[in-house]
Chain A
Amino acid sequence: ELKVEQNPLFLSMQEGKNYTIYCNYSTTSDRLYWYRQDPGKSLESLFVLLSNGAVKQEGRLMASLDTKARLSTLHITAAVHDLSATYFCAVFVNSGGSNYKLTFGKGTLLTVNP
């Protein structure tokens, strides 16, 4: 059974600081997603990482994927209050044809304080 471990689960940051959220997974996959969820809302897609060594950046967020280490990171640079949300990584597993699914980590609740 695929295990997806995110850490930390809770992160309280000061504005302007940097931090990294880690996502480890237990099986082979070459595709990983990061999502943001605001309270009471559904998921907003942030990044899809499609290959080993993939790096994507959008604003203050940068995500990377190391498929050999089965590790993805979401790095936050110079945090601002608007980044406060819950962040999920999700690992893609394809069993063949139309048999595929995402397994989500537990999420990281990020709070950015002034």
Chain B
Amino acid sequence: GAVVSQHPSWVICKSGTSVKIECRSLDFQATTMFWYRQFPKQSLMLMATSNEGSKATYEQGVEKDKFLINHASLTLSTLTVTSAHPEDSSFYICSAAGTGFSYEQYFGPGTRLTVT
């Protein structure tokens, strides 16, 4: 149980375009979802936290207009990278937490974004 999927697993896009990444909880209702970014050989940095039906809470230094997060249902959150640039190339990982899981976060497999 507690499986989280991400789609796509990898994506290449051209500079200036937007790309959407989906995060789904497959077998539980995720009241809270988290989006992380990980640059090569670095740690995970929390970008934002989203609760279903509410606006996302962004960490300091993360541009909310550039990284649009939508958590419209209890099983789906999306991250849209708008007007992507090469410096946005990274590994994006989502995690999901549900009620009754004692704050446990279940991590998705990640999405590798390359902006050319």
State the A residues within 8 Å of B (CB). 31, 35, 40-43, 45, 48, 88, 92, 94, 98-107, 109
Asked if B107 and A43 make an inter-chain contact with CB atoms under 8 angstroms apart, the answer reads yes
- CB atoms of A101 and B34 under 8 A apart: yes
Contacts of B57 in A (CB 8 A): 99
Which secondary structure dominates where chain B touches chain A?
strand
For the complex, what is the distance from the CA of A60 to the CA of B43, rounded to whole Å?
A: 24
Q: Which residues of B contact A92 (CB under 8 A)?
A: 103
Residues of B bordering A, CB below 8 Å: 31-32, 34, 41-46, 49, 51, 57, 93, 103-110, 112
**12 extra interface residue pairs, beta carbon distance < 8 Å, beyond A98-B32, A107-B42:** A31-B103, A40-B112, A41-B110, A42-B93, A42-B109, A43-B44, A43-B93, A43-B107, A45-B106, A99-B49, A101-B34, A107-B43
CA distance A101 to B34 in the complex (A): 8
| Number of residue pairs A-B, CB distance < 8 angstroms | 44
In angstroms, Cα B91 to Cα A43, docked, is 12
By beta carbon, the residue of chain A nearest B2 is A45
Flag if B103 contacts A94 (CB, 8 Å).
Answer: yes
Complex: chain B residue closest to A1, CB-CB: B60
- Chain B residue numbers with a CB within 8 Å of A35 are 107
Q: Which residue of B lies closest to A106 (CB)?
A: B43
Query: CB distance A41 to B109 under 8 Å?
Result: yes
Q: How far is the CA of A42 from the CA of B91 in the complex (A)?
A: 9
A104 adjacent to B110 (CB under 8 Å): no
